[in-house]
Amino acid sequence: MKLNKTVILDGFALNPGDLDWTDFESLIPKCEIYDFTPQELILERSKNADALITNKTPLNAENLSKLPKLKYIGVLATGYNIIDVEAAKKRGIVVTNIPSYSTNSVAQTVFAHLLNITTQVGYHARQVREGRWTRNRDFCFWDKPLIEIHGLTMGIIGLGHIGMAVAEIARSFGMKVIAETSRKQEELPEFVRKVNREELFRESDVLSIHCPLNHDTRNLVNAERLSLMKPSTILINTSRGPIIDEEALAKALNEEKIYAAGLDVLSSEPPKENNPLLTAKNCYITPHYAWATEAARKRLMDIAVKNFKAFLEGKAMNDVTIST
């Protein structure tokens, strides 16, 4: 298929300067690249495009109806809820996503949070910088609990690529692994025990979330389910922020109903200043960067180029409109 113009609406997150767009630019005569596109400029920048590449810039049904030339949308992420896929499909627009590019990086961040919470590396490193070890009378010191994860139970919600990677790493640390999954027990590795949702919340010492955001999973972690958890439980979310009821989690943390939370995602990003989790007790938040290692972003770029090239050759891959 011959196209004339591609517009990359918000390329900065994928490529803040350490990658390049050469392979994209080689596929089409004209390629416009924007670091960010505010809502009010979406139509102006997109109006003559045959193809749009977007990460988080939304394309709703109203916008799509005003873009008659548009034939392709490439989403620079696995999740594609920013696109009205049904509207795109009705207009014959192909929408592709990028599956499985960040599996290892996200799993790594899960354990970065877990190890930070259980061994308090960041906190104690700051105490050393502030001179507390220098002034200490003994050869060592610590003033926060240090927790060994060997033998603890890792609970996982969702056993896709990332969930399974987390399960494998947990096993290597000597943790027991339980999971809520649609798979049958006989389809799981022998070290993973399938449980129902209530058992998962009751039995987990660490609970890691790896399910997609949809109608069924929004506020899945709510006050009722938090009340099932042990006071020693650590909750980790590297999936999607709205899966957690943030008011309920902040209350559970502040009242010591659960021990700690490690979060890489929030319901609104960047977060609003009044988000209760920003000041909640034992809540450790990173700025949605689990996906963003250089290795993962290179894979994302490579797959995005392959998606676009395949579309131009008439054999679209990772087309999410097919299953819609």
Q: Which of 113, 210, 240, 297 is catalytic?
A: 240
Distance CA 3, CA 49 (A): 9
Q: How many CB atoms lie within 10 A of CB 50?
A: 19
Residue type, 37: T
Task: Say whether 45 is catalytic.
Answer: no
94, β-bridge pairs: 72
Residue type, 268: S
Task: Say whether 161 is catalytic.
Answer: no
Laid out side by side, the sheet with 176-180 consists of: 192-194, 176-180, 153-157, 206-209, 234-237, 260-263, 283-285
Nearest to 237 by CA among 254, 256, 223, 217: 217
Distance CA 17, CA 15 (A): 5
Q: Which of 113, 161, 288, 299 is catalytic?
A: 288
Reading phi first (left if > 0) and then psi (alpha if -120 to 50, else beta), residue 189 is in beta
Task: Say whether 150 is catalytic.
Answer: no
Nearest to 110 by CA among 288, 298, 264: 264
Half-sphere CA count of 314, side-chain side, radius 13 A: 2
Q: Which of 247, 269, 294, 313 is catalytic?
A: 269
How is residue 238 written in tokens?
A: 């590297």
Catalytically active residues are: 240, 269, 288
